[in-house]
Amino acid sequence: MISVRKRMWLLVGLALWWCLAPVRAWGVSTSASAAVLMDADTGQVLYDHNGSRRMLIASTTKLMTALVALELGEPSQVITVTAAHMAEGSSMYLRPGERLTLEELLYGLLLCSGNDAALALTECAGGVAPFVERMNEKARQLGLSEKTHFANTSGLFAADNTCTARDMAAIMAAAMEEALCREVLSTVDHTTAATESQPEGIVLRNKYLDWFQEKQPEGFTVTACKNGYIRQSKNCLVSYGTGASGKRYICVTAGAGTAVQLMQDHRLLLSTYGK
């Protein structure tokens, strides 16, 4: 039987070992309220800070919008823009009467985060309500938690438009399995086909991917990303890329501080694990 004195020294020794042992993934600190770094090949979560917390997700919502649009429609499907598709916030500057393909609308949805594109794409389901219903059905099909629920296609504030960082990593993984989604999310600049009201087309840009390409995380190459921001959610970002070993990773942060801190958070997590 271990004596009281030996038991005391054993506990002291364990406490010292815990304090002096090297800090692993969870010791990395970010500005985000929730963050996850996931191995995209295996689904293993390598870093988790409040990864299962219900979060407002702003325009990262549009990743699910893109998945459902491609499920319900075809890239070549032509959609006519109406006044009902005009929206507040970020925009690809559509005009009523313009006719664009679903593919062109996806570029507007994911590059410049057009809320007007998010509404126009609901025509694939015959309206906003059935489209959002399908988004929630898709979440269940992907095995996402009950904390993930969609109230709209854009990510504009709604108290019940929420997701977890872990679930958002799974959504990004699904998006990157879709060839067109992967192509659009990996594009920095795109100009849509000419329309009658905009004969030079619409110039679109993914500024976050542009920033990543200017300064990649050490030992890592980011090839795709989608950002989001509303006042209530702060900054959100999902990034995808490859480490020096060829392994693929997905990084998700939600509730981050400034845009600069957001990029620093991703560079820190990706350079730590992008091996």
Q: 31, 33, 62, 239: which one is catalytic?
A: 62
Our CA angle for 223, 221, 259, nearest 5°, is 75
Residue type, 223: T
Give every CB contact of residue 149 below 8 A, 6+ residues apart in sequence: 136, 139, 160, 161, 162, 163
Strand partners, 242: 221, 248
The two tokens of residue 209 are 């991917």
Q: 33, 59, 90, 239: which one is catalytic?
A: 59
The two tokens of residue 225 are 């990303």
Contact 270, 94 (CB under 8 A): no
Q: 31, 33, 90, 113: which one is catalytic?
A: 113
Supply the angle between the helices 102-110 and 62-72 in degrees, to the nearest 10.
Answer: 170
233 belongs to the catalytic site = no
239 belongs to the catalytic site = no
What's the per-residue H, E or C state across 2-21? CCHHHHHHHHHHHHHHHHHC
59 belongs to the catalytic site = yes
Measured CA to CA, the distance from residue 79 to residue 125 in angstroms comes to 12
Instruction: Give the residue numbers annotated as catalytic, written as ranges.
Output: 59, 62, 113
